[in-house]
Structure 1
Amino acid sequence: MHTTASLFVVKPIMLTLMADDIINITKSSIPFESRLPFHVEYGKKFNQYIYPIAVHSYAAVVAHSFATVVADALYYTLIQHACGMFSIIGNVLENIGKNDTDQLDAKSDKIKDDNYYKTLHCLRRHLDVIEFAEHIESVYTKIFLINLNFNMIMGSLYGIQMLINLDKNVNDIVAPISMYFGQLIHLFLHFWQGQFLLDYSILPYESICRTNWYYTSQRCRKLLLLMMYRTIIPCKITAGKLMILSIDNFGMVVKTSLSYLVSFYTMMI
């Protein structure tokens, strides 16, 4: 996001600084509108307040970039925290029964059954992490639905703008290219974190399969079996309850976006 914002801001600055060398015109002949990162409308007072308007425009680009980074960083942190908790639970489960290979007592005393209490603790923590992941999904599902549709449509429009200006001045395609790839990478990171949650949420199931469950008591095995039933259904992040955020679905979204791009471009030509 910072790279995209930087390219978006640098374009008008470079156009102003390198005007004499590249396009063989004086800097004073460049309209003030082209020195701003995006088009603005201020009427007849535009030239009178050009410098405050320029400061506001550049600050808006930087503020938008930082706001997006902060919002996404919170989402990434929540996902990584949930994945870390699944990993911790899986590590504890995998080591259950490994120190009891010499003594097997399927009907041991409940008070002395350390494996049972470890498994019970993991079961409770596992339910807490599942609830935490469900809260993440409920918070972001509607946002991702809007963001997904917006990215596909706007990405296609930026692609059309890039193709239209491809044979023209190179300066006219810097902003569309930066915005197109910026949105693509932004969307990929959302799906990538969703894939993390899918992979790590089934980690306790794999850990139970690797544990020495046959050296534990019957009550402990029942808890392990109960956790295995629940971990068969992975935790997921969806876009409006319609699409699961995963790497496979990201490829489908990119194909759909490219098909929109081709359709819009053929309609325009």
Structure 2
Amino acid sequence: MHTTACLFMLKPIVLTLTANDVFNLTKSSITYASRLPFHVEYGEKFNQYIYPIAVHNYVAVVAHSFATIAVDGLYYSLIQHACGMFSIIGNTLENIGKNNEENFDVKSIKVKDDNYSKTLHCLRRHIIVIEFAEHIESLFTKIFLMTLNLNMIVSSISGIQVLMNLDKGANDIIGPLTIYVAQLIHLFLHFWQGQFLLDYSVLPYESICRANWYYTSQRCRKLLLLMMYKTVIPCRITASKLMILSIDNFATVVKTSLSYLTVFRSMQ
């Protein structure tokens, strides 16, 4: 996002500074509108207040970049925290029963059953982490639905602009190409974090399978079965319950976006 914002702000500056050398233009022949990061409408007094308008344009680009990074940074941090908790629970469960011998007491006293105490603690923490993942999903699910639709549409339009300007100079391609690549990376990071949560949420199940559960008491095995039952359906992030954010679905979204691009291209 910062790279895209910098390119948007540098493009009109570079165009103005290198007009004589590269584009065989004078600075006076460059319109004021082309010296701004994006097109704006301020009426007849546009040229009179060009400098305050330019400051407003550049501040808007930076503010949009920082706002997007703040929201995405929160999303990434929450996902990684949930994955870390699943990893801690899985590591604890994997060591269940490793210190027991073959002649252990299956019906040992609950107070002296360390494996049972560890498993019970993991079960309680596992329930809390599942609820935490559900809160993440409910917080971002509607945002991702809008982001997904807008990314597919805008990336298709940016792709069309790139194809239309292939015969022109690089100045007309850099802008839409930057938007297209930035949106693709932005969308990939969202789906990538969703894939992280899918993979790590089933880690307790795999850890129980690798553990020496057969060296534990009956009450401990019942808790392990209960945890395995809770991990049958992994935690996931969805776009308004319509699409699960995963790498496989990201490939589907990219294919859909390219199909939109083909349709828009044929309508020219």
The TM-score by the shorter chain falls in which range? Answer: over 0.9
- In the TM superposition, 1:35-184 aligns within 5 A as 35-101=35-101, 103-184=103-184
What SS is found at the alignment partner of 2:250? helix
The alpha carbon displacement at 1:100 in A equals 1.1
What SS is found at the alignment partner of 1:244? coil
What SS is found at the alignment partner of 2:260? helix
- Aligned partner of 1:22 in structure 2 is 22
What SS is found at the alignment partner of 2:21? helix
Alpha-carbon distance between aligned partners in 2 of 1:5 and 1:179, rounded to the nearest angstrom: 10
Alpha-carbon distance between aligned partners in 1 of 2:109 and 2:62, rounded to the nearest angstrom: 64
The alpha carbon displacement at 1:101 in A equals 2.3
Alpha-carbon distance between aligned partners in 1 of 2:107 and 2:99, rounded to the nearest angstrom: 17
The size of the alignment, in residue pairs, is 268
Alpha-carbon distance between aligned partners in 2 of 1:65 and 1:179, rounded to the nearest angstrom: 13
- Aligned partner of 2:240 in structure 1 is 240
What SS is found at the alignment partner of 1:173? helix
Alpha-carbon distance between aligned partners in 1 of 2:192 and 2:143, rounded to the nearest angstrom: 16
- Aligned partner of 1:226 in structure 2 is 226
Residue 253, structure 1, aligned to residue 253, structure 2 = yes
- Aligned partner of 2:214 in structure 1 is 214
The alpha carbon displacement at 1:102 in A equals 5.2
- Deviation string 1:249-268 (CA, Å, 9 cap, x unpaired) is 00000000000001001101
Alpha-carbon distance between aligned partners in 1 of 2:144 and 2:221, rounded to the nearest angstrom: 40
Alpha-carbon distance between aligned partners in 2 of 1:133 and 1:25, rounded to the nearest angstrom: 57
Alpha-carbon distance between aligned partners in 2 of 1:237 and 1:159, rounded to the nearest angstrom: 28
Alpha-carbon distance between aligned partners in 2 of 1:153 and 1:134, rounded to the nearest angstrom: 29
Alpha-carbon distance between aligned partners in 1 of 2:159 and 2:101, rounded to the nearest angstrom: 63
Unaligned runs of 5+ in 2: none
Alpha-carbon distance between aligned partners in 2 of 1:224 and 1:198, rounded to the nearest angstrom: 20
The alpha carbon displacement at 1:48 in A equals 1.0
What SS is found at the alignment partner of 1:87? helix
The alpha carbon displacement at 1:23 in A equals 1.2
Matched to 2:68, the amino acid is: T
Alpha-carbon distance between aligned partners in 2 of 1:227 and 1:265, rounded to the nearest angstrom: 52
The alpha carbon displacement at 1:146 in A equals 0.7
Alpha-carbon distance between aligned partners in 2 of 1:152 and 1:240, rounded to the nearest angstrom: 16
What SS is found at the alignment partner of 2:111? coil
Alpha-carbon distance between aligned partners in 1 of 2:214 and 2:5, rounded to the nearest angstrom: 58
Q: TM-score, normalised by structure 2?
A: 0.99
- Aligned partner of 2:199 in structure 1 is 199
Moved over 2 A (4+): none
How well do the aligned residues superpose, as a CA RMSD in angstroms? 0.8
The alpha carbon displacement at 1:10 in A equals 1.2
Alpha-carbon distance between aligned partners in 2 of 1:17 and 1:166, rounded to the nearest angstrom: 24
Alpha-carbon distance between aligned partners in 2 of 1:178 and 1:103, rounded to the nearest angstrom: 66
